[in-house]
Structure 1
């Protein structure tokens, strides 16, 4: 893959539609990590992971190719493809949290005649706090159609490295969230997550790895309006 570079905001968090896992974008995340165990209710532990959530932003998980390219007539549809079956692994044992994602691209063409290779561009963007683009990698996936074949599948992958210290809540925030409260405490009815500073600390420690097709403006508009 190419080296990371700052890019256009195609992976805006308001567009997220597919999550792995689905709960991974909640302020408190469930996983096997032990360093960020919280006990905010006096008995219920909720565990937060330093691994980034993995998602496909809405409107970027599909691509449609037309012939001629400028046409949007259904009869001119040449090929379509969809990103699916995301599989993720995360190693958070060291100072760097390494996430690896593999996924399938299922494609369909309108004509079965002749062998054909379809090469489609895709991106992998790392975002912090749901708003800040940290980096982007661009690559391509190859789908091969044999003669007579209308459907074909290609496999691709992406990865992300995040400093563990950035994905870990500050000690002050951890203490606030872990502290057991009694009914007689003055702040017994106050949710620590209602504190803007705590909410901001959680947001800054949240990372996302967003994967989608690298679409043109016209392709993105077509996906958003079809």
Structure 2
């Protein structure tokens, strides 16, 4: 009987492994994931208490998209399912009037030629808890990108994120102006 116990345990484990493996899609990805990132012009957010006065003392809130990561899965003719993580850094300036701020941003799926296929808008809350700097990671599961057939690879698409800026904020960024709040102040 003692000699049979190890054999029975091995048979039971092999049976468990095959059931576990069936629960996961083990097919190889049909190709690489789409490139993902943030465009320079919309990766920074600066809000002034008075838009006509762009001095340090008039900064209310700032933010920056510091990193974007994606994970994807597709095989055969399946649509491409992407998961996305966005890291945000927030700053509260001298003219801030609250201990939290809502920052609008977007996530877009584009073709490599720049044509936008889908774009959604979101808000992320920067909670400062009495400090001048804060950070947060937002996660999205299941961004679905339909493919016509299995010959279409993920590299034919891009996932782009950025802040939904006003015309003044966009002009500020495009002019190369920049304020970073110092944690020591």
Residue 102 of structure 2 aligns with which residue?
119
* Gap runs ≥5 in structure 2: 1-26, 178-185
In 1, distance between residues paired with 2:121 and 2:127?
20
* Structure 1 residue 166: Cα displacement: 5.4
Q: Of residues 148, 153, 167 in structure 2, which corresponds to 1:217? A: 167
- CA deviations 1:12-57 (Å, max 9, x no partner) are xxxxxxxxxxxxxxxxxxxx9664xxxxxxxxxxxx42x3211211
What displacement does 1:97 show?
Answer: 0.5
CA displacement, residues 73-98 of structure 1 (integer Å, 9 cap, x when unaligned) = 23211221111132221111361101
Report what 1:107 is aligned to: 90
Please state how far the C-alpha of 1:205 moved relative to its aligned partner: 6.6
The change in CA–CA distance for 1:138 and 1:167 in structure 2 (over 3 A counts) is: farther
Structure 2 length-normalised TM: 0.69
Which residue does 1:81 correspond to in 2?
A: 63
1:161 and 2:144 aligned: yes
Structure 1: tracts of 5 or more residues without a match? 1-31, 36-47, 170-201
* Conservation of the 8 A alpha-carbon contact between 1:95 and 1:165: no
What is the Cα deviation at residue 69 of structure 1?
3.3
How far apart in 2 are the matches of 1:59 and 1:167? 34
Change (3 A) 1:205 1:143: closer
Instruction: Give the ranges of 4+ consecutive aligned residues of structure 1 lying more than 6 Å apart after TM superposition.
Output: 112-115
Count of aligned residue pairs for this structure pair: 148
| CA distance in structure 1 between the partners assigned to 2:63 and 2:127 by the alignment | 12
**What is the TM-score when the length of structure 1 is the normalising length?**
0.58
Aligned: 1:60 with 2:42: yes
What is the match of residue 128 of structure 2? Answer: 145
- How far does residue 114 in structure 1 lie from its aligned partner after superposition? 8.3
2:111 to 99, 103, 128: 128
Structure 1 position 104, deviation (Å): 1.6
RMSD of aligned Cα (Å): 2.8
Task: Indicate if the aligned counterparts of 2:39 and 2:161 stay in contact, CA closer than 8 A.
Answer: yes
